[in-house]
A and B are shown apart, each in its own frame.
Chain A
Amino acid sequence: SQQGEEDPQALSIQEGENATMNCSYKTSINNLQWYRQNSGRGLVHLILIRSNEREKHSGRLRVTLDTSKKSSSLLITASRAADTASYFCATVRYGNNRLAFGKGNQVVVIP
């Protein structure tokens, strides 16, 4: 099944810096979603961007989508220690209503 693939796998940054994660996918999609998972917990939905959208903002989050390159990026601005988590991208393919997840990015924000 189709999967998003995040890059890089692990990121360590200082509090206040920006964190950027990338995700690529293989086939045409309906939408792409980003989730956060704190250690040992369930996933929390952050943002959804549809295939006809190029950029979306939510608070300190900025997501871009480039369907021609089949890629997305998640930017977290002015990071905080509480942003330490794993971040997953997930895609929904046209005609298939299920989320397919990437393997996740570990982000550590150092106070």
Chain B
Amino acid sequence: DVKVTQSSRYLVKRTGEKVFLECVQDMDHENMFWYRQDPGLGLRLIYFSYDVKMKEKGDIPEGYSVSREKKERFSLILESASTNQTSMYLCASSDGDRGNYGYTFGSGTRLTVV
């Protein structure tokens, strides 16, 4: 069964900490995405990557960075965590011609910044 695995289901971090959220997919997908999900706001795209070492900003990249050193792994980095980054973070991947296939999502990481 194909999978997108996010390293943590729940995470609690302190304000100002550097936070790493890891995502690994085993489908050899080219495209990987990070979204955050907040009540009343739906899913918003933070960053995405179409290839190793490539990254592009989504709709809300401020306060975040990403790293894709290997095809299967896409990391989201909160440089200095703030309380307004408390959210559910969802990683996804997709194959081939971008946008023409459904996304496979991980189970999500619920991050609380205190």
Contact = CB atoms under 8 A, between A and B. Distances in A.
A102 B42 contact: yes
Contacts of A44: 105
B74 interface: no
B87 interface: no
B102 A48 contact: yes
A33 B100 CA distance: 10
Question: What is the interface residue range for chain B against chain A?
Answer: 20 to 34
Contact of B42 (A41, A42, A88): A88
Interface size of A as a range: 20 to 34
Interface in A73-110: 88, 92, 96-104
Contacts of A35: 103, 105
25 contacts: A1-B59, A3-B42, A31-B99, A33-B102, A33-B103, A40-B108, A42-B4, A42-B106, A43-B43, A43-B90, A43-B103, A45-B103, A45-B104, A48-B101, A92-B99, A96-B99, A97-B31, A97-B98, A98-B98, A98-B99, A99-B103, A101-B42, A101-B43, A103-B40, A104-B42
